[in-house]
A = this chain, B = another copy of it.
Amino acid sequence: MINAKEQFKIIMKGVSQVINKEDLMEKLEKSITTNTPLVVKLGLDPTAPDIHLGHSVVLRKIKQMQDLGHRAVIIIGDFTGKIGDPTGKSKARKPLTDEQILENARTYEHQVFKILDRDKTELKFNSEWLSKLNFQDVIKLASKVTVARMLERDDFENRYKNNQSIGLHEFFYPLMQAYDSVELEADIEMGGTDQTFNILMGRTLQKDYGKDSQVALFMPLLEGTDGIEKMSKSLKNYIGICEDAVTIFQKTMTVPDNLIIKYFELATDIHPDEVHKIKLELENPKINPRDVKMRLAREITTLYCGKSEAEIAEEHFKTVFQKNLIPDDIDEFILSLDCCVKDDQIDLTKIMTKSGIAKSTSEARRLIIQNAVKIDGKKFSDFLMPNPHISFVIQVGKAKFFKVKIEN
Protein backbone atom coordinates (compact mmCIF):
# COMPACT_ATOMS: atom_id res chain seq x y z
CA MET A 1 0.00 0.00 0.00
CA ILE A 2 1.21 3.47 -0.86
CA ASN A 3 2.27 5.41 2.24
CA ALA A 4 -0.01 8.02 3.77
CA LYS A 5 2.15 10.99 2.75
CA GLU A 6 2.17 9.96 -0.91
CA GLN A 7 -1.57 9.25 -0.83
CA PHE A 8 -2.12 12.66 0.71
CA LYS A 9 -0.17 14.29 -2.13
CA ILE A 10 -2.21 12.52 -4.81
CA ILE A 11 -5.52 13.28 -3.10
CA MET A 12 -4.65 16.93 -2.64
CA LYS A 13 -3.94 17.50 -6.37
CA GLY A 14 -6.26 20.20 -7.66
CA VAL A 15 -8.35 20.26 -4.47
CA SER A 16 -9.76 23.69 -3.65
CA GLN A 17 -10.30 23.12 0.08
CA VAL A 18 -10.06 20.31 2.60
CA ILE A 19 -11.54 20.40 6.12
CA ASN A 20 -9.25 19.51 7.49
CA LYS A 21 -5.79 18.33 6.47
CA GLU A 22 -4.96 16.86 9.88
CA ASP A 23 -8.10 14.71 9.87
CA LEU A 24 -7.37 13.52 6.33
CA MET A 25 -3.80 12.57 7.23
CA GLU A 26 -5.02 10.79 10.37
CA LYS A 27 -7.66 8.86 8.44
CA LEU A 28 -5.11 7.80 5.82
CA GLU A 29 -2.69 6.59 8.48
CA LYS A 30 -5.42 4.70 10.31
CA SER A 31 -6.55 3.14 7.03
CA ILE A 32 -3.03 1.82 6.45
CA THR A 33 -2.56 0.60 10.03
CA THR A 34 -5.90 -1.21 10.16
CA ASN A 35 -5.77 -2.23 6.51
CA THR A 36 -9.28 -0.77 6.04
CA PRO A 37 -10.15 1.26 2.96
CA LEU A 38 -11.69 4.66 3.52
CA VAL A 39 -15.32 5.23 2.53
CA VAL A 40 -15.47 8.08 0.03
CA LYS A 41 -18.96 9.46 -0.39
CA LEU A 42 -20.44 11.41 -3.25
CA GLY A 43 -24.06 12.45 -3.33
CA LEU A 44 -25.65 12.92 -6.72
CA ASP A 45 -28.91 14.73 -7.25
CA PRO A 46 -30.69 12.82 -9.99
CA THR A 47 -31.62 15.87 -11.99
CA ALA A 48 -28.88 16.48 -14.62
CA PRO A 49 -27.92 13.18 -16.16
CA ASP A 50 -25.50 14.28 -18.92
CA ILE A 51 -22.06 14.06 -17.36
CA HIS A 52 -19.37 16.32 -18.80
CA LEU A 53 -15.80 17.08 -17.74
CA GLY A 54 -17.13 19.64 -15.27
CA HIS A 55 -18.98 16.91 -13.37
CA SER A 56 -16.09 14.52 -13.84
CA VAL A 57 -13.79 16.53 -11.57
CA VAL A 58 -15.12 14.97 -8.35
CA LEU A 59 -15.54 11.56 -9.97
CA ARG A 60 -11.92 11.54 -11.19
CA LYS A 61 -10.77 12.44 -7.68
CA ILE A 62 -12.73 9.49 -6.35
CA LYS A 63 -11.21 7.26 -9.05
CA GLN A 64 -7.76 8.38 -7.90
CA MET A 65 -8.67 7.37 -4.35
CA GLN A 66 -9.99 4.04 -5.60
CA ASP A 67 -6.64 3.49 -7.31
CA LEU A 68 -5.10 4.07 -3.87
CA GLY A 69 -7.27 1.26 -2.49
CA HIS A 70 -10.26 3.15 -1.12
CA ARG A 71 -13.94 2.47 -1.59
CA ALA A 72 -16.52 4.78 -3.15
CA VAL A 73 -20.15 5.04 -2.22
CA ILE A 74 -22.26 6.98 -4.68
CA ILE A 75 -25.57 8.12 -3.25
CA ILE A 76 -28.26 8.68 -5.78
CA GLY A 77 -30.42 11.16 -3.94
CA ASP A 78 -33.73 9.69 -5.02
CA PHE A 79 -35.35 10.59 -1.72
CA THR A 80 -33.72 14.00 -1.67
CA GLY A 81 -34.80 14.53 -5.27
CA LYS A 82 -38.33 14.60 -4.03
CA ILE A 83 -37.52 17.90 -2.36
CA GLY A 84 -35.05 19.32 -4.86
CA ASP A 85 -31.71 20.71 -3.72
CA PRO A 86 -32.25 24.39 -3.08
CA THR A 87 -28.46 25.01 -3.27
CA GLY A 88 -27.75 28.22 -5.12
CA LYS A 89 -31.32 28.45 -6.29
CA SER A 90 -33.44 31.49 -5.71
CA LYS A 91 -36.69 29.53 -5.85
CA ALA A 92 -37.89 26.21 -4.53
CA ARG A 93 -37.47 23.44 -7.10
CA LYS A 94 -40.26 21.31 -8.41
CA PRO A 95 -40.06 17.84 -6.90
CA LEU A 96 -39.24 15.04 -9.35
CA THR A 97 -41.57 12.12 -9.89
CA ASP A 98 -40.47 8.59 -8.99
CA GLU A 99 -40.25 7.70 -12.70
CA GLN A 100 -38.06 10.70 -13.57
CA ILE A 101 -35.77 9.92 -10.65
CA LEU A 102 -35.38 6.27 -11.64
CA GLU A 103 -34.69 7.09 -15.27
CA ASN A 104 -32.14 9.76 -14.38
CA ALA A 105 -30.49 7.39 -11.94
CA ARG A 106 -30.05 4.72 -14.62
CA THR A 107 -28.43 7.23 -16.98
CA TYR A 108 -26.16 8.37 -14.18
CA GLU A 109 -25.15 4.83 -13.34
CA HIS A 110 -24.15 4.14 -16.93
CA GLN A 111 -22.03 7.29 -17.12
CA VAL A 112 -20.48 7.13 -13.67
CA PHE A 113 -18.87 3.81 -14.49
CA LYS A 114 -17.06 5.38 -17.42
CA ILE A 115 -14.95 6.95 -14.67
CA LEU A 116 -15.16 4.90 -11.49
CA ASP A 117 -13.85 1.43 -10.71
CA ARG A 118 -16.97 -0.71 -10.63
CA ASP A 119 -15.44 -3.21 -8.18
CA LYS A 120 -14.70 -0.55 -5.63
CA THR A 121 -17.99 1.31 -5.95
CA GLU A 122 -21.28 0.89 -4.21
CA LEU A 123 -24.25 2.67 -5.70
CA LYS A 124 -27.00 3.39 -3.23
CA PHE A 125 -30.31 5.19 -3.23
CA ASN A 126 -30.83 7.26 -0.11
CA SER A 127 -34.50 6.32 0.03
CA GLU A 128 -33.14 3.02 1.40
CA TRP A 129 -32.70 4.56 4.83
CA LEU A 130 -34.44 7.94 4.62
CA SER A 131 -37.81 6.44 3.74
CA LYS A 132 -37.61 4.39 6.94
CA LEU A 133 -37.32 7.39 9.23
CA ASN A 134 -40.53 8.16 11.10
CA PHE A 135 -41.71 11.48 12.48
CA GLN A 136 -39.87 10.96 15.73
CA ASP A 137 -36.61 10.22 13.93
CA VAL A 138 -37.11 13.34 11.84
CA ILE A 139 -37.68 15.39 14.98
CA LYS A 140 -34.46 14.01 16.44
CA LEU A 141 -32.65 14.93 13.24
CA ALA A 142 -34.16 18.43 13.18
CA SER A 143 -33.23 18.98 16.82
CA LYS A 144 -29.55 18.76 15.91
CA VAL A 145 -29.61 22.03 14.04
CA THR A 146 -30.82 25.54 14.75
CA VAL A 147 -32.91 27.76 12.52
CA ALA A 148 -30.22 30.44 12.68
CA ARG A 149 -27.58 28.00 11.44
CA MET A 150 -29.79 27.09 8.47
CA LEU A 151 -30.36 30.73 7.63
CA GLU A 152 -26.61 31.25 7.53
CA ARG A 153 -26.50 29.33 4.28
CA ASP A 154 -25.96 31.94 1.57
CA ASP A 155 -28.91 31.10 -0.62
CA PHE A 156 -31.36 30.78 2.28
CA GLU A 157 -30.04 33.99 3.82
CA ASN A 158 -30.49 35.89 0.58
CA ARG A 159 -33.97 34.57 0.01
CA TYR A 160 -35.00 35.33 3.58
CA LYS A 161 -33.60 38.87 3.40
CA ASN A 162 -35.27 39.49 0.04
CA ASN A 163 -38.64 38.22 1.31
CA GLN A 164 -38.55 35.32 -1.12
CA SER A 165 -40.31 32.39 0.41
CA ILE A 166 -38.37 29.39 1.72
CA GLY A 167 -40.48 26.29 2.24
CA LEU A 168 -39.76 24.71 5.62
CA HIS A 169 -39.19 21.41 3.81
CA GLU A 170 -36.21 22.91 1.98
CA PHE A 171 -34.31 23.00 5.26
CA PHE A 172 -34.32 19.22 5.10
CA TYR A 173 -32.16 18.96 2.03
CA PRO A 174 -28.89 19.65 3.85
CA LEU A 175 -30.09 17.52 6.77
CA MET A 176 -30.85 14.54 4.55
CA GLN A 177 -27.51 14.81 2.79
CA ALA A 178 -25.83 15.03 6.19
CA TYR A 179 -27.79 12.07 7.49
CA ASP A 180 -26.58 10.01 4.53
CA SER A 181 -23.06 10.48 5.91
CA VAL A 182 -24.19 9.26 9.34
CA GLU A 183 -25.79 6.19 7.80
CA LEU A 184 -22.76 5.36 5.61
CA GLU A 185 -20.16 6.27 8.20
CA ALA A 186 -18.43 8.17 5.41
CA ASP A 187 -14.76 9.04 5.91
CA ILE A 188 -14.57 11.59 3.14
CA GLU A 189 -17.34 13.49 1.38
CA MET A 190 -16.63 14.99 -2.01
CA GLY A 191 -18.31 17.95 -3.58
CA GLY A 192 -17.98 21.20 -5.42
CA THR A 193 -17.35 24.36 -3.42
CA ASP A 194 -21.07 25.12 -3.69
CA GLN A 195 -21.66 22.10 -1.42
CA THR A 196 -19.69 23.51 1.52
CA PHE A 197 -22.68 24.03 3.82
CA ASN A 198 -24.23 20.62 3.20
CA ILE A 199 -20.98 18.66 3.53
CA LEU A 200 -19.92 20.46 6.71
CA MET A 201 -23.34 19.72 8.15
CA GLY A 202 -22.59 16.05 7.56
CA ARG A 203 -19.38 16.50 9.51
CA THR A 204 -21.28 18.01 12.47
CA LEU A 205 -24.16 15.56 12.33
CA GLN A 206 -21.90 12.49 12.38
CA LYS A 207 -20.43 13.81 15.63
CA ASP A 208 -23.94 14.41 17.06
CA TYR A 209 -24.79 10.80 16.27
CA GLY A 210 -21.63 9.54 17.94
CA LYS A 211 -19.64 8.78 14.78
CA ASP A 212 -16.28 9.95 13.48
CA SER A 213 -16.56 13.15 11.50
CA GLN A 214 -15.92 12.92 7.79
CA VAL A 215 -13.29 14.94 5.95
CA ALA A 216 -14.83 17.47 3.58
CA LEU A 217 -13.00 17.58 0.24
CA PHE A 218 -14.01 20.37 -2.11
CA MET A 219 -13.06 20.48 -5.78
CA PRO A 220 -12.99 23.71 -7.77
CA LEU A 221 -15.42 24.38 -10.58
CA LEU A 222 -13.98 23.75 -14.04
CA GLU A 223 -14.31 26.45 -16.69
CA GLY A 224 -15.65 25.29 -20.02
CA THR A 225 -13.86 25.39 -23.39
CA ASP A 226 -14.59 29.12 -23.63
CA GLY A 227 -12.22 29.55 -20.68
CA ILE A 228 -14.64 31.89 -18.92
CA GLU A 229 -17.87 30.33 -17.72
CA LYS A 230 -18.34 27.25 -15.56
CA MET A 231 -18.64 24.24 -17.86
CA SER A 232 -22.30 23.70 -18.62
CA LYS A 233 -24.36 22.03 -21.27
CA SER A 234 -26.63 25.01 -21.73
CA LEU A 235 -23.66 27.30 -22.39
CA LYS A 236 -22.33 24.88 -25.07
CA ASN A 237 -18.84 25.13 -23.59
CA TYR A 238 -18.79 21.51 -22.42
CA ILE A 239 -16.94 18.31 -23.26
CA GLY A 240 -19.27 15.39 -22.65
CA ILE A 241 -17.71 12.16 -21.40
CA CYS A 242 -19.99 10.17 -23.71
CA GLU A 243 -19.07 12.09 -26.83
CA ASP A 244 -17.04 10.40 -29.57
CA ALA A 245 -13.24 10.45 -29.51
CA VAL A 246 -12.92 12.91 -32.41
CA THR A 247 -15.22 15.40 -30.69
CA ILE A 248 -13.56 15.08 -27.28
CA PHE A 249 -10.14 15.51 -28.86
CA GLN A 250 -11.16 18.50 -30.98
CA LYS A 251 -13.03 20.22 -28.15
CA THR A 252 -10.10 19.78 -25.79
CA MET A 253 -7.86 21.45 -28.40
CA THR A 254 -10.05 24.57 -28.14
CA VAL A 255 -9.36 25.00 -24.41
CA PRO A 256 -7.41 28.24 -23.83
CA ASP A 257 -3.70 27.81 -23.02
CA ASN A 258 -4.02 29.33 -19.55
CA LEU A 259 -6.32 26.47 -18.51
CA ILE A 260 -4.07 23.62 -19.69
CA ILE A 261 -2.63 22.96 -16.22
CA LYS A 262 -6.03 23.23 -14.51
CA TYR A 263 -7.40 20.66 -16.97
CA PHE A 264 -4.43 18.38 -16.30
CA GLU A 265 -5.11 18.71 -12.57
CA LEU A 266 -8.87 18.32 -12.62
CA ALA A 267 -9.71 16.34 -15.74
CA THR A 268 -6.93 13.73 -15.84
CA ASP A 269 -5.45 11.26 -13.37
CA ILE A 270 -1.87 12.29 -14.10
CA HIS A 271 0.34 12.24 -11.00
CA PRO A 272 0.89 15.64 -9.37
CA ASP A 273 4.68 15.38 -9.89
CA GLU A 274 4.12 14.88 -13.61
CA VAL A 275 1.71 17.83 -13.72
CA HIS A 276 4.42 19.88 -12.09
CA LYS A 277 6.84 18.89 -14.89
CA ILE A 278 4.29 19.84 -17.53
CA LYS A 279 3.90 23.20 -15.84
CA LEU A 280 7.64 23.79 -16.09
CA GLU A 281 7.55 22.76 -19.78
CA LEU A 282 4.83 25.28 -20.47
CA GLU A 283 6.96 27.99 -18.91
CA ASN A 284 9.73 27.11 -21.39
CA PRO A 285 9.45 29.50 -24.37
CA LYS A 286 10.83 26.84 -26.73
CA ILE A 287 7.83 24.62 -26.11
CA ASN A 288 4.67 25.21 -28.19
CA PRO A 289 1.62 25.10 -25.85
CA ARG A 290 -0.28 23.40 -28.67
CA ASP A 291 1.94 20.31 -28.27
CA VAL A 292 1.22 20.20 -24.54
CA LYS A 293 -2.45 20.58 -25.29
CA MET A 294 -2.20 17.67 -27.75
CA ARG A 295 -1.03 15.56 -24.82
CA LEU A 296 -3.93 16.82 -22.69
CA ALA A 297 -6.41 15.98 -25.47
CA ARG A 298 -4.84 12.51 -25.84
CA GLU A 299 -5.03 11.91 -22.07
CA ILE A 300 -8.65 12.97 -21.78
CA THR A 301 -9.77 11.14 -24.92
CA THR A 302 -8.00 7.97 -23.75
CA LEU A 303 -9.82 8.16 -20.40
CA TYR A 304 -13.22 8.03 -22.07
CA CYS A 305 -12.67 6.27 -25.39
CA GLY A 306 -9.59 4.10 -24.89
CA LYS A 307 -6.07 4.35 -26.30
CA SER A 308 -6.68 3.28 -29.90
CA GLU A 309 -9.71 5.53 -30.38
CA ALA A 310 -7.68 8.38 -28.94
CA GLU A 311 -4.86 7.71 -31.40
CA ILE A 312 -7.29 7.69 -34.31
CA ALA A 313 -8.82 10.94 -33.06
CA GLU A 314 -5.39 12.50 -32.78
CA GLU A 315 -4.48 11.38 -36.28
CA HIS A 316 -7.76 12.74 -37.60
CA PHE A 317 -7.18 16.02 -35.86
CA LYS A 318 -3.69 16.29 -37.31
CA THR A 319 -4.96 15.52 -40.81
CA VAL A 320 -7.92 17.82 -40.71
CA PHE A 321 -6.69 20.73 -38.72
CA GLN A 322 -2.94 20.74 -38.87
CA LYS A 323 -2.12 19.48 -42.37
CA ASN A 324 -4.90 21.56 -43.91
CA LEU A 325 -4.14 24.56 -41.77
CA ILE A 326 -7.63 24.68 -40.42
CA PRO A 327 -7.93 26.95 -37.44
CA ASP A 328 -9.26 25.15 -34.36
CA ASP A 329 -11.58 27.85 -33.08
CA ILE A 330 -14.03 27.76 -35.98
CA ASP A 331 -17.81 28.00 -35.62
CA GLU A 332 -19.75 24.83 -34.98
CA PHE A 333 -23.22 23.99 -36.28
CA ILE A 334 -25.22 21.33 -34.55
CA LEU A 335 -27.86 19.79 -36.81
CA SER A 336 -30.35 17.07 -36.15
CA LEU A 337 -30.05 13.88 -38.18
CA ASP A 338 -33.70 14.10 -39.26
CA CYS A 339 -33.28 17.28 -41.18
CA CYS A 340 -30.34 16.24 -43.33
CA VAL A 341 -30.90 12.58 -44.14
CA LYS A 342 -31.96 11.36 -47.61
CA ASP A 343 -32.27 7.71 -48.67
CA ASP A 344 -30.37 6.73 -45.52
CA GLN A 345 -27.45 8.92 -46.56
CA ILE A 346 -26.62 12.44 -45.48
CA ASP A 347 -27.58 15.13 -47.94
CA LEU A 348 -24.68 17.59 -48.07
CA THR A 349 -26.74 20.29 -49.78
CA LYS A 350 -29.19 20.23 -46.88
CA ILE A 351 -26.37 20.63 -44.41
CA MET A 352 -25.00 23.54 -46.38
CA THR A 353 -28.35 25.34 -46.51
CA LYS A 354 -29.44 24.55 -42.95
CA SER A 355 -26.13 25.79 -41.57
CA GLY A 356 -26.17 28.88 -43.76
CA ILE A 357 -22.99 27.97 -45.66
CA ALA A 358 -25.00 28.19 -48.87
CA LYS A 359 -27.98 30.45 -49.38
CA SER A 360 -29.96 27.91 -51.41
CA THR A 361 -29.87 24.31 -52.51
CA SER A 362 -28.85 25.41 -55.99
CA GLU A 363 -25.92 27.43 -54.63
CA ALA A 364 -24.86 24.41 -52.54
CA ARG A 365 -25.01 22.14 -55.61
CA ARG A 366 -23.02 24.67 -57.67
CA LEU A 367 -20.27 24.91 -55.01
CA ILE A 368 -20.02 21.10 -54.78
CA ILE A 369 -19.89 20.71 -58.61
CA GLN A 370 -17.22 23.43 -58.80
CA ASN A 371 -15.03 21.35 -56.41
CA ALA A 372 -15.09 24.26 -53.93
CA VAL A 373 -16.12 22.03 -50.98
CA LYS A 374 -13.78 20.02 -48.73
CA ILE A 375 -14.91 17.63 -46.01
CA ASP A 376 -12.29 17.12 -43.26
CA GLY A 377 -9.69 18.61 -45.64
CA LYS A 378 -10.49 16.38 -48.62
CA LYS A 379 -12.23 17.51 -51.78
CA PHE A 380 -15.78 16.18 -51.92
CA SER A 381 -17.89 16.30 -55.08
CA ASP A 382 -20.92 14.13 -54.21
CA PHE A 383 -24.23 15.44 -52.95
CA LEU A 384 -24.66 12.51 -50.58
CA MET A 385 -22.31 11.34 -47.82
CA PRO A 386 -22.22 8.00 -46.07
CA ASN A 387 -24.22 7.93 -42.85
CA PRO A 388 -23.24 8.12 -40.00
CA HIS A 389 -20.76 10.87 -40.51
CA ILE A 390 -21.43 12.70 -37.31
CA SER A 391 -18.70 15.27 -36.82
CA PHE A 392 -16.63 16.89 -39.54
CA VAL A 393 -15.23 20.14 -40.82
CA ILE A 394 -16.63 21.53 -44.02
CA GLN A 395 -14.48 24.01 -45.95
CA VAL A 396 -15.74 26.24 -48.73
CA GLY A 397 -13.09 27.98 -50.79
CA LYS A 398 -9.85 28.79 -49.06
CA ALA A 399 -10.88 30.71 -45.96
CA LYS A 400 -14.34 29.52 -44.92
CA PHE A 401 -14.39 26.72 -42.29
CA PHE A 402 -17.32 25.37 -40.38
CA LYS A 403 -17.51 22.51 -37.95
CA VAL A 404 -20.67 20.44 -38.33
CA LYS A 405 -22.06 18.04 -35.79
CA ILE A 406 -25.05 15.85 -36.49
CA GLU A 407 -27.06 14.64 -33.55
CA ASN A 408 -29.83 12.11 -33.33
Question: How far in angstroms is the closest Cβ of chain B from A92?
Answer: 8
Q: Does A261 contact B (CB under 8 A)?
A: no
Smallest Cβ distance from A22 to chain B, in angstroms? 29
Q: Are A134 and B136 touching (Cβ within 8 A)?
A: no
The yes or no answer to A383 lying at the interface (CB within 8 A) is no
Which residue of B136, B160, B169, B172 is within 8 Å of A148 (Cβ)?
Answer: B160
Chain B's closest residue to A165 (CB) is B146
Does A133 sit within 8 A of B, measured CB to CB? yes
Interface of A is mostly: helix
User: Which single member of B79, B142, B160, B175 contacts A172 (CB below 8 Å)?
Assistant: B142
Q: Which residue of B lies closest to A167 (CB)?
A: B143
- On whether the beta carbons of A133 and B131 are closer than 8 Å, the reply is no
Once A82-B139, A134-B134, A136-B82 are accepted as A-B contacts, the answer to whether A148 and B163 lie under 8 Å apart by CB is yes
Given the complex of chains A and B, what is the CA–CA distance between A147 and B169 in angstroms?
9
Contact B139 A172 (CB under 8 A): yes
- Asked if B142 and A168 sit within 8 Å, CB to CB, the answer is yes
Once A146-B165, A167-B145 are accepted as A-B contacts, the answer to whether A135 and B136 lie under 8 Å apart by CB is: no
CA gap between A166 and B165 in the complex, in Å: 19
Most B-side CB within 10 Å, residue of A79, A131, A138: A138
In Å, the complex CA distance between A146 and B168 comes to: 5
Interface membership of chain A positions 368-382, coded 1 if the CB is closer than 8 angstroms to chain B and 0 otherwise: 000000000000000
Q: Distance in Å from the Cβ of A28 to the closest Cβ of chain B? A: 34
For the complex, what is the distance from the CA of A167 to the CA of B82, rounded to whole Å? 24
Whether a CB of chain B sits under 8 angstroms from the CB of A151 is yes
Give the contacting residue for A131; candidates B79, B132, B134, B168; CB below 8 A.
B134
- Indicate if A150 sits at the interface (CB-CB under 8 A): yes
A143 touches B131 (CB 8 A): no
Categorize the interface residue count of chain A: 20 to 34
Q: Is A171 an interface residue (CB 8 A)?
A: yes
Contacts of A79 in B (CB 8 A): 135-136
Residue A83 is within 8 A (CB to CB) of chain B in the complex? yes
Q: Which of chain A's residues 119-139 have a Cβ closer than 8 Å to chain B?
A: 130-139
The CA-CA distance from A175 to B168 in the complex, in Å, is 11
Pick the residue among B140, B163, B169 that contacts A143 (CB under 8 A).
Answer: B169
A156 vs chain B, min Cβ distance (A) = 8
CB contact under 8 A between A168 and B171, given known A82-B136, A135-B131, A138-B135? yes
**Chain B residue, CB-CB nearest to A92:** B143
Q: Which residues of B contact A147 (CB under 8 A)?
A: 147, 150-151, 156, 160, 165-168, 171
Expressed in whole angstroms, the Cα–Cα distance for A167 and B142 within the complex equals 7
Q: Which residues of B contact A171 (CB under 8 A)?
A: 142, 147, 168
User: How many Å lie between the Cα of A16 and that of B345 in the bound state?
Assistant: 83
A111 to B131 Cα, complex, angstroms: 40
Interface-centre pick from A82, A166, A169 (highest chain B CB count, 10 A): A169
The answer to whether B151 touches A167, judged by C-beta atoms less than 8 angstroms apart, is no
Complex Cα distance A147/B150, Å? Answer: 10
Minimum CB–CB distance for A98 against chain B, Å: 11
B148 engages A165 (CB within 8 Å): yes
Q: Bound complex: CA of A134 vs CA of B79, how far in Å?
A: 12
Shortest Cβ-Cβ A-B pairs, 3 listed: A142-B169, A143-B169, A142-B168
Beyond A145-B167, A147-B166, list 6 extra A-B contacts (CB 8 Å): A82-B139, A83-B139, A135-B138, A139-B172, A146-B167, A147-B160
Which residues of A come within 8 Å of B, CB atoms? 79, 82-83, 130-140, 142-143, 145-148, 150-151, 156, 160, 163, 165-169, 171-172, 175
21 CB < 8 A contacts A-B: A82-B136, A82-B139, A130-B135, A131-B134, A132-B134, A132-B135, A133-B134, A133-B135, A134-B134, A135-B138, A140-B169, A142-B168, A142-B169, A143-B167, A145-B167, A146-B165, A146-B166, A146-B168, A147-B171, A148-B160, A150-B168
